[in-house]
Structure 1
Amino acid sequence: MFAVPSFLWATGNTFGAQSTVSPSLVKLAQDGVPWFVAVLWVTGLLKLLGALIGIGLTRLRSQRTGRLMGLCGSAAATLLVWHGGLFVVHGVLVETGVVSVERDLAALTGWYLYLWGPWFIVGGLAFATAAALYVRRHNDRPGLRLYCAAGAFGALLLSLLSTATGIG
């Protein structure tokens, strides 16, 4: 269900986006800007992949597949908590007046602070819990822990780089 808005907005239908998403992003979707439509499709597909990874963490796998599940699960956890945390921190800074934003964005602050941010954080914590339980049940704990750490570190590095460059 988390992927549905991405696919819907990729088709140009911005139902639900006007009041909850940045107006500049809504305009890109409405105008059908090719690179942004591609980003929306890829985002939707990544969300579906995330669902498959989440399901994959519920059953023990072979050593090789298990390591991939651990890597992806911990990476997903890190990305989601980081992304949600940025929304919450930015929302708090705007709400307290430490940071100012344009008027049309100020109306969206509550959505990011009280809905989107916490939603991403809860999803990340769910992935972290699933990955931790998966490691606990798996026979290859030392190797699997290394892959989980690599996934989390790689995701954090990617997030920091995208934030520093203004992409994320």
Structure 2
Amino acid sequence: MNQRFFLKRNPWCIGLGIMWTLLFSCMSFYWAMGGLMGVRSLGGTIYEMSLNPSPSFVVIVWLTGFIKLLGGIFLSMLLIRWKKPIMNRFLYYTAKTCGALLFLYGFLNFITIVLHAFHLLEFNLDSYATFWRLFFWEPYWMMGGIFYFFSVKRFLE
């Protein structure tokens, strides 16, 4: 029995994922150009380094922006109807893996920052950064993971 691998897409999650990715990369580009709005909400060493950035730190922030853009390119590839089953498999497993990793990253950070908020772990985060990490940054990571993960479904026909 010869089964073909078809890729079923969720256009809403793809569109929201592309917007999420573009917004995320634009934040990095803004910060790489010296913008400081919102950077205090990150807290810790990243905030301290952004106040007087070294050239290598600026390069890293630019690179993270471009790496984030690759996610948008990847999600855009989901909009193409690929005839090769191997490409459909690649896109499916990449979307599921990236989605799971993005969500897990945000979730684990959320847990550790909650533990910090209850003084069970010690981090270099003030209460301002702790608040924003719990109510914006970590949920933002998890939301992106959901968009990536649910952007595709596969089925056999």
TM exceeding 0.5? yes
TM-score under structure 1 length normalisation = 0.68
8 A Cα contact 1:77 1:123, kept in partner: yes
Q: Is residue 2:123 matched to residue 1:78?
A: no
1:10 to 26, 29, 32: 32
Structure 2 stretches of 5 or more lacking a match?
1-22
Identical pairs, percent:
24
Cα drift, residue 4 of structure 1: 0.8
Give runs of aligned pairs for residues 34-45 of structure 1, distance below 5 A: 34-45=55-66
1:33 to 54, 59, 63: 54
1:67-102 residue CA offsets vs partner (Å, 9 max, x unmatched): 332243123212211210122101221222322334
1:94-126 residue CA offsets vs partner (Å, 9 max, x unmatched): 222322334x53331111111111111111011
8 A Cα contact 2:39 2:50, kept in partner: no
Structure 2 partner of 1:157: none
Evaluate the alpha carbon distance shift between residue 34 and residue 129 of structure 1 in structure 2; reply closer, same or farther with a 3 A threshold: same
Cα drift, residue 23 of structure 1: 4.5
Q: Which amino acid aligns with 2:31?
A: W
- Between Structure 1 and Structure 2, which shows a larger proportion of helix residues? 1
Give runs of ≥4 in structure 1 deviating > 4 Å. none
- Between Structure 1 and Structure 2, which shows a larger proportion of strand residues? 2
Q: What number of residue pairs does the alignment pair up?
A: 134
Q: What SS does the aligned partner of 2:151 have? A: helix
Cα drift, residue 24 of structure 1: 2.4
1:44-86 residue CA offsets vs partner (Å, 9 max, x unmatched): 1122111122222244323343233224312321221121012
The structure whose Rg is larger is 2
CA distance in 1, matches of 2:109, 2:42: 12
CA distance in 2, matches of 1:60, 1:13: 39
Structure 1 stretches of 5 or more lacking a match?
140-168
Q: Which amino acid aligns with 1:35?
A: S
Structure number with greater CO (CA < 8 Å, separation at least 6) is 2
Q: Is residue 2:45 matched to residue 1:24?
A: yes
